[in-house]
Amino acid sequence: MESGGNLYQPQRQSSWAIVLILLKYIRIIARQMWPILLIVLIKPTEGRGLIITAIALGIAILAMIYSIVAYTRYYYFVKNNELCVRSGVFRKLVLNVPFERIQSVDFKQNIVHQFLNVVSVQVDTAGSRGSELEIDAISLTQAEALRNLVLSYKKSHATEIAASGAQEAFETETEESPELILALSSSDLMKVGISANHLRTAAIIFAFFVGLADDVEQLLGWDVWGQLDDSTMAASVLGLIVVLSAIPLLLFVSFFITLIRTVLRYYNLKFWRDGKSYKVVSGLFTRNEKSIQKSKIQIIRWVTSPLKKMFGIFQMNIYQATSINQTRDKSLIIPGCYAQQVQHTLDTIVPAFKGATFTAHKMHPAIVVLVVSLVGFLPAVGFGFMAWFNDSIVQWLLVLIFPLSIWMGILYQRKRRFKIHPDFILSEGGIFGNTNRLIEIYKVQAVTIHSSPMQRRRGVSSLHIHTAGGEMAFAYIQTRVANQARDYILYRVETEKRSWM
């Protein structure tokens, strides 16, 4: 208790927090106003430049004053096993978070934090209507004291509950030293970067430029699309060549961007098991530390893609119970695991999974028709109309999505499985790669069964299984299997004595 003694008195953050709060506001303002800033830089009209500079300066000064006031009015302290925060510049805000509601206490350090030797603390609270709490900058010792306080409270509380059962809680309570499951070496980091999803980056870049072109057009009156049409679309053969050479360029650029992003994000990644919690620390400039308590784990997912398969690596995601829909953000991401590390992690989280025999159920082949009509046929008709209307060879290429979707639909149906074991449900799927998601049945929150007229004619239904860490959906499984699965899941949940988190 000594180290965090003054935690019980209301106190301000580290004074460096002013700098960090200021940077935060500047980032927010810049994000809102970047198109205007762009114009100022591109089209500096005399006279107007002065006004804009004055406005910018005014905003900067206001932001600075606001940060200082925000800093002086921000207090945090611990009282009655609650983390309390008093803040607010114009309105007074008081937030009390009971320790038992706290899901995780995560630290984050961006490059400024590292330079100033402070951390930002993110406290995630789950359950109904949870809210999040962030402390911008406190010293690492202070942050660790806070986390230890929360963890030790939770530990003593957990043992109180489990005292009668005397199960798991004590088995692992023997103060194990932290076990390093995975340390991503630089060659493995390269493998992760090379096998990352470049198509997604390409799509983001594409969308960004489409958005940029629209913005520029609106703000500057440059007709970007018109110019593109003039130079490329009008002469369709030339346009085709331009587009065909632009695609490899786009892929090349996306490849490098994903590679750099991967290195920034996962540099020196370490995946630890520390008693009853799992922890990932990674990042080059921004050191991120995320941890999940074992009991909060809801879904374990491991994925491989054709490129990842070549290297023999998987990406694991561990999803925990979250307050709102931020499952992506709150999952532990462990890229670059080898099969043996995936197996080891599964063994420690769900020991009974090893050697469990599952009964597998396939999806009805009619799902191919559904997939093809949704992602293939309808878009193809739309693109076809567009191409016909614009008389553009380039746009006709987009119609190729139709045959592509047939192929993908068939692959999807072939791999998709609903697998069930008395204690687990395993979802298998993937088009080119493999995606596996595992849940423990007693952690299910609700079950939904959908059916459309088409599905009923074929005697199939869609089974949706909701957990606190996300949803699993199985479209087109036999109605009989879906109903039996629902009845079985409900029976398991309703007779379960263990808490789901």
Partner 1 sequence: MMKPTENLFENPQIDLSSLPAVEQMTMMPLEPVYKKVRIIVASLIAIVLIVVSWTFAWWQAPYLTYIHVPAILVTLLAIWIVAYNGISFHYMFYAVREKDISYQSGWLWKSMTTIPYNRVQHCDIREGLIDRQFGLAKLTIYTAGGQSADLMIPGLLPETAEKLKSYILDATEHSIETES
Kindly tell me which of 304 and 320 has the beta carbon lying closer to partner 1.
Answer: 320
Q: How far does CA 397 lie from the centroid of its chain?
A: 33
Give me the least distance between CB of 425 and partner 1, in Å please. 11
CB atoms within 10 A of CB 129: 7
Give me the least distance between CB of 453 and partner 1, in Å please. 5
Give me the least distance between CB of 96 and partner 1, in Å please. 19
Give me the least distance between CB of 485 and partner 1, in Å please. 6
Give me the least distance between CB of 348 and partner 1, in Å please. 24
SS (H, E, C) 123-139: EEECCCCCCEEEEEEEE
Helix or strand (DSSP H, E) at 118: strand 118-125
Kindly tell me which of 348 and 445 has the beta carbon lying closer to partner 1.
Answer: 445
Helix or strand (DSSP H, E) at 409: helix 401-415
Q: How far apart are CA 113 and CA 110, in angstroms?
A: 5
Kindly tell me which of 261 and 457 has the beta carbon lying closer to partner 1.
Answer: 457
Where do we find the tokens 């995936």? Answer: 342
Give me the least distance between CB of 455 and partner 1, in Å please. 9
CA distances (Å), origin 285, targets 134, 193, 216, 424: 20, 17, 32, 39
Kindly tell me which of 254 and 295 has the beta carbon lying closer to partner 1.
Answer: 295
- Contacts with partner 1 by CB under 8 A lie at 126-128, 161, 321, 324-325, 357, 359, 361, 420, 422, 444-453, 456, 458-459, 464, 466-468, 470-471, 478, 480-481, 483-488, 490-491, 493-494, 496-501
Give me the least distance between CB of 366 and partner 1, in Å please. 10
Among 435, 434, 429, 431, which residue's Cα sits nearest to residue 417?
429
Give me the least distance between CB of 330 and partner 1, in Å please. 12
Kindly tell me which of 121 and 321 has the beta carbon lying closer to partner 1.
Answer: 321
Q: How far apart are CA 292 and CA 318, in angstroms?
A: 8
Radius of gyration (C-alpha) of the chain in whole angstroms = 27
CA distances (Å), origin 283, targets 184, 204, 456: 11, 22, 50
Kindly tell me which of 427 and 467 has the beta carbon lying closer to partner 1.
Answer: 467
SS (H, E, C) 292-323: EEHHHEEEEEEEECHHHHHHCEEEEEEEECCC
Q: Which two tokens stand for residue 374?
A: 């949704």
Helix (H, G, I), strand (E, B) or coil at 198: helix
Give me the least distance between CB of 382 and partner 1, in Å please. 15
Q: How far apart are CA 493 and CA 487, in angstroms?
A: 10
Helix or strand (DSSP H, E) at 253: helix 236-266
Give me the least distance between CB of 219 and partner 1, in Å please. 28
Long-range contacts of 478-486 (CB under 8 A, 24+ apart): 478/361, 478/364, 479/451, 479/455, 481/361, 481/418, 482/449, 483/449, 485/418, 485/420, 485/447, 486/447, 486/449
Give me the least distance between CB of 466 and partner 1, in Å please. 3
307: Cβ contacts below 8 Å, ≥ 6 apart: 194, 195
Kindly tell me which of 149 and 468 has the beta carbon lying closer to partner 1.
Answer: 468
Kindly tell me which of 183 and 473 has the beta carbon lying closer to partner 1.
Answer: 473
State the virtual CA torsion across 99, 103, 109, 110 in degrees, nearest 10. -130
Q: Which two tokens stand for residue 121?
A: 């603390």
Kindly tell me which of 69 and 447 has the beta carbon lying closer to partner 1.
Answer: 447
Kindly tell me which of 396 and 488 has the beta carbon lying closer to partner 1.
Answer: 488
Kindly tell me which of 258 and 461 has the beta carbon lying closer to partner 1.
Answer: 461
